[in-house]
């Protein structure tokens, strides 16, 4: 008889053997899943067909072993390689990996973020685990498929697929071709059977020293598939996983029944089931570099009930599908697109720290419309707790569900008194504009022409009546006996698109205070800078490679294009302060010290009212438009938007109307970009008081001006030092409430604008400077501008140096702009003056205010409504920026002729 101790020992050994077997079996299952669904891993698994001495084989083996052991560098290589993507049935043959991420794997330069916000590498501190032990390269395998379930439009080579692979650089295209050919022949990938596809390799390209944007459209990406088993689909396709877990729901649930029908359709390869699976999201390449967008194809999902044939020839249509039976072509129930948002805790992902919630993953799901979000939430919680998905294990991640969104829009937000009021105003405005334009073209212009003919001998300024302002034309028409108009007609004509458009493009029509031609050029160029910042900021919630975006923005080119765009706002503050003082001092100079303007409460209130009327109509319309747009996208966008603009505008719109929203946090602000307007309004009030007082108490005002300038410099520097600011993007973002939008740090350039205007009026726009003096000033200006713009390029500067810089850089920039204005106004501007005074800048400069208001809405509309995330690349920024600039100014023109210029003319006629 065995003793109890021996039995206990045998049981212990048996338990250890069981644990070892279970671990090995789990590891094998993990490896099998990778082999079926990740072609780069499949290539490494088949390396045994190469000779033992082959260097490519050795490095592929190292790569495979590293993946099996979840070493970070190998997971980053796997993450950079292509894998299946949604949309194959509707023609998505571009299953790219990430070439930029692959090429960046050996880049040991730190990201441009503060140490406190580096959340990656929490368990990876060993340099041998962070970076590959060999050089890597990005390859593209091009091959044909013969699947009959994909729609074809009759275009050349629309059956060609491309697979991106991040593999050892030492591997030749011949060796990889040999490996991939075997994989295709043996049908090792999971989607061979899913889509009934065989693959024929065309070639493998080594993309080293080549750029993919130069390739033809049909030479780009895709990957392949293999053994078709429900277990594999459950681990890879979350939509299928949900159908497998439908038992969580009650038996009477309509959602459960339709999910079961969907699963059976996929198992039996019915086209409509595969289309739903194909339109749903799954994990994608680029996770390590921030790709948290497991998006499906929303437009494809919502198109499933569309029975209209494609606009292609009968011959091409007949070649499209083997499925012509309506029960296999279309789902037997209504479908809808859902978005699931959940957090991950993987430590292998880089975080930039520039936006909130970088750890949120978004999953797109094309599922039965009968499913309620609570039902899908319960199923997903079960899936996440059981860690069913392969991505859980690859990235060592747990998932915590935040919410499931039904992206169908029921437009309930339109039943809001604020929105109804805005829509009524828009309708009345459109009616006024239409009536005024028709009257202007059909009646008023003809009357003016007849009167011009009858008064041919009457001298008209410049001998060109076309160059009158709207007010001049109306005044002229009133004075002419043959054309006496009523005040109603005068007011109506303020809304004429025809007149307002002509005025917009008149090159020599300047207001009484604005006689400095370069201002329009400065405004337009500064606005381009601001648009670039808005693009970087308002697309951040849809960018799938934020760390690479940081690389771009921290480069010299990126800093010129975007980071230094922060100076553009200071340019506008300078111009605003300059115009307030310049117009006032010009008028006072004409009086020759006779009856100087006295500071009274009535004067200040009247100035505030005029300023309010000038800014508010277009501002209110944009607030209303933003509420509508963001309420719509709050329901329909797949992306997680951290800025709840619709909620802020619903609750805090009154702060904007009172121009006090800059005293609150950016996160609680309606239109976060509107912080400039309350600053400008508050500075305007201060400037009005100072300029009026300076007529009689100049020295006192000069002392106040100096104290304010010194105070803002010291305060800015102190805040920077106390907050421990380093000039990294994440720190700039975290401190924006204190060092970006606060009036106490922004008033410096406005004060410099006041001083520059006083100086220019004092010297009567004349300065007899010699060539040496002018050259010296221009050299100083150029050196200072370069220094200010690129001082922060070296991120190693100390906190104390940064504090000094923050205290002074806005003032220095304003002095540089002040020099350009003074030099150009005294005929010493040279080429700079000629460029900035070009007539093309005049209409563009007039549209600046509306462009500033509308641009973030344009950017957000484009990307929040998209089916896909944005993959940021430097060369991609150029067409993106150009397109957005065009759309911004087109929308600004509409806003200008509807809600800005008509009200300016209207209140002038009413003498308000």
SS3 label, residue 364: strand
Q: For 412, which DSSP code?
A: G
Lowest mean pLDDT among 407-416, 575-584, 686-695: 407-416
Report the pLDDT value the prediction gives residue 540, as an integer from 0 to 100.
82
Residue 605, C-beta contacts closer than 8 angstroms, at least 6 positions apart: none
CA distance 94 to 844: 40
* Residue 846 clears pLDDT 60, i.e. is over it: yes
* Residue 251 clears pLDDT 50, i.e. is over it: yes
CA distance 817 to 832: 12
Report the pLDDT value the prediction gives residue 158, as an integer from 0 to 100.
77
SS3 label, residue 543: strand
* Residue 118 clears pLDDT 60, i.e. is over it: no
Lowest mean pLDDT among 569-573, 590-594, 677-681, 731-735: 590-594
The answer for 670, left when phi > 0, alpha when psi is -120 to 50, beta otherwise, is beta
CA distance 101 to 77: 9
Structure tokens at 94: 């571009």
**Cβ-contact 123, 164 below 8 angstroms:** no
Lowest mean pLDDT among 125-134, 328-337, 360-369, 384-393: 125-134
User: Dmax of the chain from CA atoms?
Assistant: 135
Average pLDDT over residues 500-518: 70
Report the pLDDT value the prediction gives residue 735, as an integer from 0 to 100.
87
How high is the mean pLDDT of the chain? 83
To the nearest whole percent, how much of the chain has pLDDT over 70? 83
Report the pLDDT value the prediction gives residue 209, as an integer from 0 to 100.
63
CA distance 478 to 490: 9
SS3 label, residue 252: coil
Report the pLDDT value the prediction gives residue 481, as an integer from 0 to 100.
40
- Looking up tokens 């004067």 gives 603
pLDDT tens-place string over residues 367-413? 999 999 999 999 999 999 988 988 888 888 899 999 999 998 888 88
- How, if at all, do strands 293-294 and 360-368 pair? parallel
To the nearest whole percent, how much of the chain has pLDDT over 90? 43
Report the pLDDT value the prediction gives residue 512, as an integer from 0 to 100.
41
Residue among 166, 167, 162, 199 nearest 183 (CA): 199
Give the burial class of 107: count Cβ atoms within 10 A of its Cβ; 0-12 exposed, 13-18 middle, 19 or more buried. exposed
Residue 470, C-beta contacts closer than 8 angstroms, at least 6 positions apart: 493, 494, 499, 500, 503, 905
Long-range contacts of 652-656 (CB under 8 A, 24+ apart): 653/418, 653/623, 653/627, 656/619, 656/623
Q: For 403, which DSSP code?
A: E
H or E element that contains 337:
strand 335-344
Kindly indicate the confidence band of residue 855, based on its pLDDT and cuts at 50, 70 and 90: very high
SS3 label, residue 410: coil
Structure tokens at 32: 């099998």
Pick the residue with more confidence: 256 or 349? Answer: 256
* Residue 759 clears pLDDT 50, i.e. is over it: yes
Lowest mean pLDDT among 105-114, 185-194, 371-380, 477-486: 477-486
**Cβ-contact 533, 566 below 8 angstroms:** yes
Report the pLDDT value the prediction gives residue 660, as an integer from 0 to 100.
95
**Cβ-contact 523, 572 below 8 angstroms:** yes
Per-domain residue ranges for the chain?
Answer: 1-34, 229-307+321-408, 415-504, 518-909
Give the burial class of 796: count Cβ atoms within 10 A of its Cβ; 0-12 exposed, 13-18 middle, 19 or more buried. exposed
Report the pLDDT value the prediction gives residue 153, as an integer from 0 to 100.
65
* Residue 357 clears pLDDT 90, i.e. is over it: no
Lowest mean pLDDT among 56-65, 194-203, 228-237, 240-249: 228-237
* Residue 432 clears pLDDT 50, i.e. is over it: yes
Residue 885, C-beta contacts closer than 8 angstroms, at least 6 positions apart: 528, 531
Residue among 472, 451, 448 nearest 462 (CA): 472
* Residue 455 clears pLDDT 70, i.e. is over it: no
| Beta-carbon count within 10 A of 216 CB | 8
- Phi, psi at residue 363, to the nearest 5°? -120, 125
CA distance 250 to 104: 49
> CA of 903: how far to CAs of 468, 488, 614, in Å?
18, 14, 8
Kindly indicate the confidence band of residue 680, based on its pLDDT and cuts at 50, 70 and 90: very high
**Cβ-contact 656, 549 below 8 angstroms:** no
H or E element that contains 161:
strand 160-168
Report the pLDDT value the prediction gives residue 411, as an integer from 0 to 100.
85
Q: For 595, which DSSP code?
A: S
Report the pLDDT value the prediction gives residue 117, as an integer from 0 to 100.
58
Kindly indicate the confidence band of residue 528, based on its pLDDT and cuts at 50, 70 and 90: very high
Alpha-helix residue ranges (DSSP H) falling in 735-798: 736-739, 743-762, 771-790
CA distance 174 to 889: 52
Report the pLDDT value the prediction gives residue 510, as an integer from 0 to 100.
46
Kindly indicate the confidence band of residue 507, based on its pLDDT and cuts at 50, 70 and 90: low
Report the pLDDT value the prediction gives residue 224, as an integer from 0 to 100.
33
The answer for 841, left when phi > 0, alpha when psi is -120 to 50, beta otherwise, is alpha
Residue among 825, 576, 536 nearest 673 (CA): 536
Pick the residue with more confidence: 18 or 74? Answer: 74
CA distance 582 to 612: 20
Report the pLDDT value the prediction gives residue 578, as an integer from 0 to 100.
96
Report the pLDDT value the prediction gives residue 511, as an integer from 0 to 100.
46
Report the pLDDT value the prediction gives residue 334, as an integer from 0 to 100.
92
Average pLDDT over residues 818-833: 92
Q: Report the Cα–Cα distance between both ends of the chain, in Å, rounded.
A: 112
Long-range contacts of 724-728 (CB under 8 A, 24+ apart): 724/799, 725/799, 725/802, 725/803, 725/806, 726/114, 726/795, 726/797, 726/799, 726/802, 727/792, 727/795, 727/797, 727/802, 727/805, 728/112, 728/113, 728/114, 728/795
Pick the residue with more confidence: 262 or 396? Answer: 262
| Beta-carbon count within 10 A of 520 CB | 25
Kindly indicate the confidence band of residue 466, based on its pLDDT and cuts at 50, 70 and 90: very low
Residue 298, C-beta contacts closer than 8 angstroms, at least 6 positions apart: 279, 337, 364, 407, 638, 867
* Residue 513 clears pLDDT 50, i.e. is over it: no
Report the pLDDT value the prediction gives residue 514, as an integer from 0 to 100.
46
Top mean pLDDT of 305-319, 573-587, 873-887 is at 573-587
SS3 label, residue 829: coil
Pick the residue with more confidence: 732 or 858? Answer: 858
**Cβ-contact 160, 220 below 8 angstroms:** no
Angle at 282 between CA 280 and CA 284, to 5 degrees: 130
Q: For 166, which DSSP code?
A: E
CA distance 673 to 661: 11
Average pLDDT over residues 318-327: 58
Report the pLDDT value the prediction gives residue 751, as an integer from 0 to 100.
97
């Amino acid at each position: 008889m065995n003793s109890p101790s021996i039995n206990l020992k045998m049981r212990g050994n048996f338990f250890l053997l069981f644990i070892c077997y279970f671990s090995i079996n789990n590891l094998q299952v993990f490896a099998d899943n990778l082999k079926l669904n990740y072609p780069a891993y499949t290539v490494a698994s088949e390396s045994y067909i190469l000779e033992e001495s082959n260097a490519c084989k050795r490095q592929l083996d190292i790569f495979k072993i590293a993946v099996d052991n979840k070493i970070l560098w190998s997971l980053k290589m796997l993450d950079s390689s292509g894998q299946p993507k949604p949309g194959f049935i509707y023609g998505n043959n571009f299953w790219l990996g990430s070439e930029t991420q692959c090429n960046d794997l050996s880049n040991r330069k730190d990201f441009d973020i503060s140490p406190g916000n580096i959340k990656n590498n929490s368990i990876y501190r060993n340099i041998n685990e962070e970076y590959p032990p060999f050089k890597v390269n990005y390859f593209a395998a091009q091959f044909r498929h013969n699947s009959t379930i994909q729609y074809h439009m009759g275009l050349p080579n629309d059956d060609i697929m491309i697979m991106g692979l991040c593999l050892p650089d030492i591997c030749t295209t011949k060796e990889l071709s040999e490996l991939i050919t075997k994989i295709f022949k043996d049908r090792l990938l999971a989607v061979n059977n899913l889509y009934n596809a065989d693959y024929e390799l065309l070639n493998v390209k080594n993309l080293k020293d080549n750029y993919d944007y130069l390739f033809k459209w049909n030479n780009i990406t895709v990957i392949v598939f293999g053994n078709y088993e429900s277990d594999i689909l459950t681990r890879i396709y979350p939509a299928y996983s949900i159908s497998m877990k439908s038992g969580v729901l009650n038996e009477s649930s309509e959602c459960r029944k339709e999910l079961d029908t969907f699963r059976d359709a996929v198992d039996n390869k019915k086209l409509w089931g595969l289309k739903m699976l194909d339109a749903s999201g799954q994990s994608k390449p680029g996770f390590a570099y921030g790709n948290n967008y497991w998006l499906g194809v929303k437009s494809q999902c919502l198109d499933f009930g569309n029975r209209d044939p494609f606009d292609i020839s009968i011959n091409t249509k007949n070649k499209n599908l083997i499925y012509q039976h309506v029960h296999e072509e279309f789902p037997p129930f209504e479908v809808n697109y859902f978005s699931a948002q959940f957090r991950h805790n993987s430590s292998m992902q880089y975080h930039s720290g520039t936006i909130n919630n970088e750890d949120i993953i978004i999953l797109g799901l094309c599922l039965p419309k009968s499913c309620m979000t609570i039902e899908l939430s319960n199923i997903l919680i079960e899936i996440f707790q059981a860690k069913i998905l392969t991505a859980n294990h690859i990235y060592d991640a747990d998932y915590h569900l935040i919410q499931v969104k039904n992206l169908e829009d029921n437009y309930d937000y339109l039943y809001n008194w604020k929105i109804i009021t805005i829509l009524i105003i828009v309708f009345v405005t459109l009616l006024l504009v239409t009536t005024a334009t028709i009257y202007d073209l059909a009646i008023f212009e003809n009357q003016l022409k007849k009167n011009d003919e009858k008064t041919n001998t009457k001298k008209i300024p410049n001998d060109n009546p076309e160059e009158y302002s709207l007010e001049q034309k109306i005044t002229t028409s009133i004075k002419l006996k043959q054309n006496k108009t009523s005040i109603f007609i005068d007011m109506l004509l303020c809304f004429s698109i025809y007149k307002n458009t002509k005025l917009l493009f008149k090159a020599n029509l300047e207001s009484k205070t604005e006689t400095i031609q370069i201002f329009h050029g400065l405004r337009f160029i500064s606005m381009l800078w601001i648009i670039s910042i808005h693009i970087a900021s308002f697309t951040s919630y849809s960018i799938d490679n934020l760390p690479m975006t940081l690389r771009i923005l921290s480069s010299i080119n990126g800093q010129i294009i975007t980071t230094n765009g922060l100076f553009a706002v200071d340019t506008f503050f300078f111009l605003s302060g300059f115009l307030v003082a310049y117009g006032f001092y010009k008028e006072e100079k004409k009086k020759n010290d006779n009856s100087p303007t006295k500071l009274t409460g009535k004067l200040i209130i009247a100035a505030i009212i005029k300023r309010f009327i000038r800014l508010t109509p277009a501002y209110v319309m944009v607030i209303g438009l933003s509420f509508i747009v963001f309420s719509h996208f709050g329901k329909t966008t797949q992306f997680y938007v951290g800025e709840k603009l619709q909620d802020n505008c619903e609750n805090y719109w009154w702060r904007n109307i009172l121009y006090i929203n800059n005293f609150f946090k950016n996160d609680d602000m309606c239109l976060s970009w509107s912080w400039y307007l309350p600053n400008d309004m508050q500075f305007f009030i201060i400037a009005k008081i100072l300029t009026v007082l300076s007529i009689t108490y100049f020295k006192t005002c000069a002392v106040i001006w100096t104290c304010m300038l010194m105070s803002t410099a010291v305060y800015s520097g102190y805040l920077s030092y106390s907050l421990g600011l380093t000039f990294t993007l994440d720190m700039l973002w975290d401190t924006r409430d204190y060092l970006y939008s606060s009036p106490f740090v922004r008033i410096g350039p406005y004060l410099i604008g006041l001083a520059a205007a006083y100086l220019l009026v004092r010297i009567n726009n004349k300065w007899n400077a010699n060539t040496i003096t002018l050259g010296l000033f221009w050299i100083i200006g150029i050196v200072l501008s370069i220094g200010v713009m690129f001082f922060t390029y070296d991120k190693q500067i100390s906190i104390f140096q940064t504090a000094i810089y923050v205290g002074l850089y806005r003032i220095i920039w304003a002095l540089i702009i002040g020099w350009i204005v003074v030099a150009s106004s005294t005929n010493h501007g040279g080429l700079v003056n000629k460029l900035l005074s070009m007539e093309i800048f005049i209409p563009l400069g007039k549209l600046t205010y509306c462009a500033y208001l509308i641009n973030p809405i344009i950017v957000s509309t484009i990307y929040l409504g998209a089916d896909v995330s944005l993959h940021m690349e430097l060369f991609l920024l150029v067409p993106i920026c150009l397109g957005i600039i065009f759309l911004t100014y087109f929308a600004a023109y509409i806003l200008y002729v509807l809600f800005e210029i008509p009200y300016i003319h209207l209140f002038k006629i009413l003498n308000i």
